[in-house]
Amino acid sequence: MSETEDVNASTIVREARPEPRSAPAEPDQDHLLLPLDARTPADLRDRVAHLIGSLREPASGGLGELAAALRRDLADRPVRAAVVAASAGQARERLATLAGTLRDGEAAAADAVNGVFAGRADRRPAIGFIFPGQGSDNGRAGRALTARFQAARDLYRAVPVPAADGPGGLETVQPRIVASSVAGVRVLSELGIEASVAAGHSLGELTALHWAGALGEPDLVALAAAHGRILADACDGRGAMAVVGAARDGVEPLLRDEPVVIAGDNNPVQTVVSGPAEAVARVRRAAAAAGLRAANIPVSDAFHSPKMAPATDRLRAHLEGMRFRPLGRRVVSTVTGDVLAPDTDLRDLLVGQLCSPVLFSGAVRRMGEEVDLLLEVGPGQLLTGHAARICPGVPVVPLVTDGDSVSGLLCAVAAAYVLGAPVRLDRAGGHRLDTGPAPGKAARP
C-alpha cells in the first residue's frame, strides 16, 4: 500500500484551508516569531502601530534582530500578541491585520493561516494535543524541525526511523508518522509547552499512549512498524472505505441491510464507513440519492471494520511481548470515547481498535470542555479542520512537523504564548536555518 492509503480514514471531503498571503522571505530565512505584550488593549494597539512604522524603514539587523529585540522588551504584561512572518514585508501585512483586530478594544485572535494571534494571559491555559494517523504522511523529510532544534535531531539519531524518501508501505509510513509526532512533542517540551490531555486518531492512539508514559520512543516506533506490517498482511483488496458528509445518525440509515459499518466519526458533518467494496459502493449511491456528499477513500481494504479480524491474533501476539507502563497522563481514547484509566489493559485496547470505529469527534468534544487550545502534533493538518468543527470556540493550530518551514510550530508557540503559557521564547529561535543565532546585538525598535 502507498502512503496515501488512509488507514486512519481521516478525510477525503476536506476543509479547504486557504494559503496565507505572503511576501518574499529574506534569503535562507524561515519564519520568525514577533511577540508583544502590554498592560491594556489600547497600549498594545499603540505598540503595534509603532512597530509597523519601524518596519517601513530598512533595518540593519533584519527580522531576526527585531525578533530578539522584541523578546527582550517583554515584561510579563497580560495583554499579548504575536505574529509569525518570514520577511519584513510579510510582518507589516500581518501586523496590520493584528491592528485591525484590536480596533474594538479587544485582544483576541487565533489565525494560524495568516500567523496572527492575540489574547490575555490571565491564567495558565490548559492545552490538549491531538495526534494524527496514517493519512497525514506525505513522504517528506521535514527538515525544518531538525534544522533548528537539537531535540528533534537527537530523536532521529537515537531511534531508527525509515527514511522519508517518498511513498512506502504501512510498515514504513506508520513509524515515520509517530516519530514525526514525537519530534513535535520533544520540541514543544523544550519550549515549555505541555499538555494536560491528549487524543490520537487511529494510529495516533499509539502516540497518545507514548505521550502518557506507556512506552518509550524506540518501542513506539517499533510497534508502529509492526502494526503497519500486520495490517498490510491482513489486506486482500476486497474491502473499501468511504466518507459521507453527514453526522453518524444521518449515515446509519444508509447501512441497513448492508454489511457495512461506521468506521470513523471525524466531525459533526463527516462520517466514515467501511466494508466489502461492492456494499460500500451501494452505500455511496444511496448517500448521493439522499442528497449527501460521498466519496471513496483510496485505501486497500476495509479498515476499522470486522474485515480486520484476521490481524487481531497477530497483533495480540506481538503485544504480549511488550511491557506497558501505567498511564501517567490523561488520554481520551478514540477507541472507547472515554478517559483511559491508568491501569487500562492496553493490549485489549489496541487489539480492539483494529475492528472498531474511530470516535474522534466525541474524544475532541470532551477535550474541548477543559482546554483553551488544541495543538495538532504531527505531520500534516488533517485533524485541524475536524477539531475546529467539533469545538468552534477552541483555537486549533497544526504544527505540520513534516514541513520545510517552522511556521506551524511558531504559530503553536504564538497561540500558547498569548494565552499565558510559560513559553521559553528565547529557545524558539530568531535565526536562520542551520546557522545558529544571528550575530550581534539588536537595537530596540
What gap in Å lies between CA 228 and CA 202, rounded to an integer?
A: 12
pLDDT of amino acid 59: 54
Res. 145: pLDDT tops 70:
yes
Q: pLDDT tens digits for 381-434?
A: 999 999 999 999 999 999 999 988 999 999 999 999 999 999 999 998 644 333
- CATH class, range 239-297: alpha beta
What gap in Å lies between CA 157 and CA 214, rounded to an integer?
A: 22
Q: pLDDT tens digits for 290-333?
A: 999 999 998 889 999 999 999 999 999 999 999 999 999 999 99
Res. 83: pLDDT tops 70:
yes
Q: pLDDT tens digits for 1-12?
A: 333 333 344 443
Q: pLDDT tens digits for 228-261?
A: 999 999 999 999 999 999 999 999 999 999 999 9
Give Cβ neighbours of residue 150 (< 8 Å, ≥ 6 apart). Answer: none
Band (pLDDT 50/70/90 cuts) for residue 221 is very high
Beta-sheet pairing, 239-244 with 294-297:
antiparallel
Mean pLDDT of 151-162: 92
More confident call, 59 vs 107:
107
pTM for the full predicted model: 0.90
Res. 355: pLDDT tops 50:
yes
Cell numbers linked to 413: 508557540
Residues 113 and 20 sit within 8 Å (Cβ to Cβ): yes
What gap in Å lies between CA 239 and CA 236, rounded to an integer?
A: 8
Cell numbers linked to 176: 515515520
What gap in Å lies between CA 70 and CA 271, rounded to an integer?
A: 45
pLDDT of amino acid 424: 96
Inter-CA distances, 323 with 8, 168, 216, 228, Å: 25, 28, 10, 19
pLDDT of amino acid 9: 41
pLDDT of amino acid 89: 92
- CATH class, range 23-232+314-445: alpha beta
Band (pLDDT 50/70/90 cuts) for residue 25 is very low
Band (pLDDT 50/70/90 cuts) for residue 19 is very low
Q: Which of 36-40, 163-167, 216-220 has the least mean pLDDT?
A: 163-167
Band (pLDDT 50/70/90 cuts) for residue 61 is low
Residues 110 and 397 sit within 8 Å (Cβ to Cβ): yes
Closest CA to 222 of 178, 190, 266: 178
DSSP three-state, residue 239: strand
Mean pLDDT of 115-136: 93
pLDDT of amino acid 437: 31
Band (pLDDT 50/70/90 cuts) for residue 196 is very high
For the chain, percent of residues with pLDDT exceeding 90? 77
What gap in Å lies between CA 240 and CA 298, rounded to an integer?
A: 8
Res. 135: pLDDT tops 80:
no
State the amino acid at position 225 in one-letter form.
A
Closest CA to 377 of 404, 411, 405, 400: 400
pLDDT of amino acid 144: 87
State the amino acid at position 247 in one-letter form.
A
Q: Which of 66-75, 126-135, 142-151 has the least mean pLDDT?
A: 142-151
More confident call, 430 vs 264:
264
Res. 183: pLDDT tops 80:
yes
Cell numbers linked to 168: 512506502
Q: Where are the domains of the chain?
A: 23-232+314-445, 239-297
